[in-house]
Amino acid sequence: MPELPEVETSRAGIEPHLQGVKITRLVVRQPQLRWPIPADLAANLEGQRVQAVCRRGKYILIAVNGGAALLHLGMSGSVRILPRGTPAGKHDHVDLELESGQMLRLTDPRRFGALLWQPEGELHPLLASLGPEPLSEAFDAEYLLRCCKGRRSAIKALIMDSHVVVGVGNIYANEALYMAGIDPRRAAGRISAERLARLVEAIKSVLTRAIAQGGTTLRDFVGGDGKPGYFSQQLHVYGRAGEPCPGCGARLQEVRLAQRSTVYCKLCQK
């Protein structure tokens, strides 16, 4: 599943091709994604000039006069910039045609993605309860300490809760907890303020570096597969169960937390 750095890379990849450009036509081949594409979406988008291409959590917002289209890539979705009229494949469900002669194409083999509408001045229900962005000033040590107070749930589950903070998916939660030296199974309410401060910095660091690395794949959004590369070259623990810990050499352990694979070092993470 695309995580926040991959979604941000996608947003940055399509932004130069959409910003300030008029949308001429919306082509919907498959309206049944995770939720039905609104029947009036074409009326809201066609003839409008794109004012901004933003991100909130894992949603890309394409803002026009009157509102914004909300795009979610789901489990396996991707976006590409292609010449208008490029033949569509089996899983190419939506095209956003542009006056520039290009188009934005949404490809989603599993159809878990979404394309929805948020009227201007309103907040879509899917965005209303989201926590702060992890790279924003609102997500700091004091905020995380308040969220953890009295909580018995595992710290990994808490930082992956989008109501607490958005976009810290499984890959980057594993990595940040390793960097901060915190056992992912530890009860959130039993972690000191000092250690939580280290965790906040680790989350910001790993996401910032992942986004920077993803930026090297921006060329793929024009005629390529539209899928940014993951942060695999610098992963310390994720996907490395049974291998030596990069820090101490002990064998990395794997457990399931909230039905997700969790890899950690029993010596380095307490």
Question: In degrees to the nearest 10, what's the CA dihedral of 146, 178, 76, 44?
Answer: 30
User: Do you know the residue count of the chain?
Assistant: 270
- Give the pLDDT score at 32: 96
Residues annotated within a binding site:
91, 110, 151
Domain residues of the chain, as ranges? 4-128, 141-264
DSSP letter at 170?
Answer: H
- CATH number at 4-128: 3.20.190.10
pLDDT tens over the chain, length 270 residues: 678 888 998 999 999 999 999 999 999 999 999 999 999 999 999 999 999 999 999 999 999 999 999 999 998 889 999 999 999 999 999 999 999 999 999 999 999 999 999 999 999 999 999 999 999 999 999 999 999 999 999 999 999 999 999 999 999 999 999 999 999 999 999 999 999 999 999 999 999 988 887 744 445 555 556 666 656 667 899 999 999 999 999 999 999 998 899 999 999 999
Residues annotated within a binding site for DNA:
91, 110, 151
Do residues 88 and 103 make contact, with C-beta atoms less than 8 angstroms apart? no
- From 164, 185, 180, 197, select the one nearest 236 (Cα to Cα): 180
Clarify whether 260 is annotated catalytic.
yes
Instruction: Give helix 193-214 / helix 4-18 axis angle, nearest 10°.
Output: 40
- From 29, 28, 22, 32, select the one nearest 42 (Cα to Cα): 28
**List 55, 58, 80, 105, catalytic entry:** 58
Q: Would 4-128 and 141-264 be classified into the same CATH topology?
A: no
- Give the pLDDT score at 227: 66
- Give the pLDDT score at 193: 98
- Give the pLDDT score at 231: 60
Burial status of residue 192 (CB atoms within 10 A of its CB: 0-12, 13-18, 19 or more)? exposed
Clarify whether 194 is annotated catalytic.
no
- CATH number at 141-264: 1.10.8.50
- Give the pLDDT score at 229: 63
**List 22, 84, 198, 260, catalytic entry:** 260
Clarify whether 3 is annotated catalytic.
yes
**List 3, 15, 97, 175, catalytic entry:** 3
